[in-house]
């Protein structure tokens, strides 16, 4: 099978983004259709940085018009947009907003789904489901190579950081099991699916999503993302 892979907009073009287009014989996919202005220390005038954002946004929207599937790996603004037209007529595979998520991304997810619901004539609050109590395994067991690595003189400091990380993680767990849960939404012309640890087949194309990974080092406070395999 022939697969077309095209970077749509990336940081090297002057704005924060990692939007990617993929086409197989069965489907066209757009991964992470978002863009954000570069940080203040980036060596370019503000006016130019704003122009790059608008150029990238226009390009991303043009690609979005002609795809079947949108993938959003997490809720950073350089990975998704509040623009319902990007999602109309699409299947959207999106990060689960109810678990393996930090506080800021949970808040962004709520705002995003509120926006979608409002556009489509619903109230998110009316659709939300009861909390679910469940156990969450030790996340370091998923990364045995990194967890078992010997860092020599740094080992003691690393243990201290991991202990702090565990405390942070289990505080997040306490929140996840209390959250009212955002459901997978299906409107008249948009279908949202929580992607992690699932596979979907479209003709001869299989779209597989990994379980959530740390967005960085162990217990990265930035949150979690997932990988996309076509």
Find all residues with CB under 8 Å of 154, minimum gap 6, and list them.
none
Rounded to an integer, the average pLDDT of 79-105 is 97
Whole-number Cα distances in Å, 55 to 52, 78, 229:
5, 14, 28
**Is pLDDT at 89 greater than 90 in this prediction?**
yes
Strand ranges for the chain from DSSP E: 4-10, 18-23, 28-31, 69-72, 90-94, 190-194, 199-202, 205-209, 213-214, 224-225, 228-229
In the predicted model, what is the mean pLDDT of the chain? 97
Strand order in the sheet with 199-202: 199-202, 205-209, 228-229
**Is pLDDT at 1 greater than 90 in this prediction?**
no
Rounded to an integer, the average pLDDT of 26-35 is 98
Listed in sequence order, the DSSP H helices in 181-224 are none
What are the structure tokens assigned to 219, written together?
């217990």
Encode pLDDT of 166-188 as tens digits. Answer: 999 999 999 999 999 999 999 98
Across 179-217, b (16+ Cβ under 10 Å) vs e yields beebeebebeebebbbbbeeeeeeeebebebbebbbbee
Nearest to 99 by CA among 176, 3, 9: 176
Rounded to an integer, the average pLDDT of 1-28 is 97
Encode pLDDT of 34-78 as tens digits. Answer: 999 999 999 999 999 999 999 999 999 999 999 999 999 999 999
Nearest to 54 by CA among 69, 72, 32, 35: 35
């Amino acid at each position: 099978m022939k697969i077309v892979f095209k970077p749509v907009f990336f940081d090297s073009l002057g704005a924060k983004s990692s939007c990617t287009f993929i086409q197989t014989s069965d489907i066209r996919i757009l991964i992470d259709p978002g863009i954000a202005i570069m940080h203040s220390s980036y060596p370019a005038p503000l006016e130019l940085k704003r122009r790059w954002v608008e150029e990238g946004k226009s390009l991303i929207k043009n690609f979005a018009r002609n795809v079947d599937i949108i993938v959003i790996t997490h809720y950073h603004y350089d990975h998704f947009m509040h623009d319902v037209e990007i999602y109309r007529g699409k299947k959207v595979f999106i990060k689960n907003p109810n678990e393996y998520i930090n506080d800021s991304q949970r808040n962004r997810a709520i705002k995003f789904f509120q926006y979608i619901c409002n556009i489509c004539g619903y109230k998110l609050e009316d659709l939300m489901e009861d909390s679910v109590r469940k156990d969450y395994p030790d996340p370091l067991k998923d990364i045995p190579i990194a967890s078992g690595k010997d860092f020599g003189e740094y080992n003691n400091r690393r243990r201290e950081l991991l202990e702090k990380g565990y405390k942070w993680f289990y505080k997040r767990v306490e929140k996840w099991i209390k959250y009212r849960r955002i459901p997978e939404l299906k409107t008249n012309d948009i279908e949202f699916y929580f992607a992690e640890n699932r596979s979907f087949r479209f003709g001869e194309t299989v779209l597989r999503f990994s379980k959530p990974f740390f967005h960085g080092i162990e217990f990265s406070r930035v949150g979690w993302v997932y990988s996309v395999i076509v």
